[in-house]
Structure 1
């Protein structure tokens, strides 16, 4: 009888030890999931801050574009007015030439001709400045298109990271091998040339290298997390 009780007690202790082992394994897995969730939350926060900065940059660029367009419009009005003034001066010069004799009013005609030359030089300079303003305005619009596109990708990436963080917080393993693999594949597709807004992201990132480095760093960081360690 005592032997049976002793054997039963041993079996009970063994069962408790096994339960304790599994409890420790589960606690370890939960702790790892919580760490991963915290890390992803930090990445989400960083990306949100980056997106906010980009939005602020977009607002500033829009202001610059509006100012450039106003300046270009003013220059064009000024050029139109100068052209009219030059036309009037040319008419006056012709009239003076017709009225002048060989010995009279030659100095006055020379002054008018000099004024005409100065006006023509002024117009040429203004046309050159106007062309520069138009070119700068076109470049600004191009940069604005790129920043808006990058901003759109960041906001979508933030949403995906939040989804993964929520799943980890609930204790769900999103793909036991690598819970971030679907997200990594999505980011790689975006950075390797999927067309958005008529231009590939290879072109965007070729012009904005810093953003590309940040995405690659993020992918590398996520690649280290492989899910909970097996007992």
Structure 2
């Protein structure tokens, strides 16, 4: 009787090679994921950045990275989102790590409809993709340092919000593997609780504390 073959981990494409993208890439690689990185142009432009900041990742053209990926992580500055071609991400599970934060990024007309969370607006524009919101409420400078093994008493919780249960499950497993407890929110609309000004934004909370903070918000 042979040992069961472990399931293949989803292949990740990270769009964005600024502050956030390389950190997400490093923690994903450390967790055993295959990761490609793409920016807005020729991969040769980010080859050195990738080699230095995320060794083991593959710099690629965005279209090629996305085509081969099971999960695409949006780690671009939010002001660049309006220029992103929705066709590029059609049919893909997209992890939205962006925030709309006017005091920092300025007013972005696309995101000014306050009746919706920013990820709901992302989903409306990426109508042929499945959007899940996470990693927006932890600083990129904390993401590596705050990782802990499963069961550690000081393991930090992160929220995962989406409308598609299977997509949320896939992303929650990713969050667990990179070193955090995943707290699943009921919908992408509920992801507004993860945004700037929300009860868990920037807060280092254990799972029970995180869930209490969400539950206590009207």
Same fold? TM cut 0.5: no
Task: Give the TM-score taking structure 1 as reference length.
Answer: 0.23
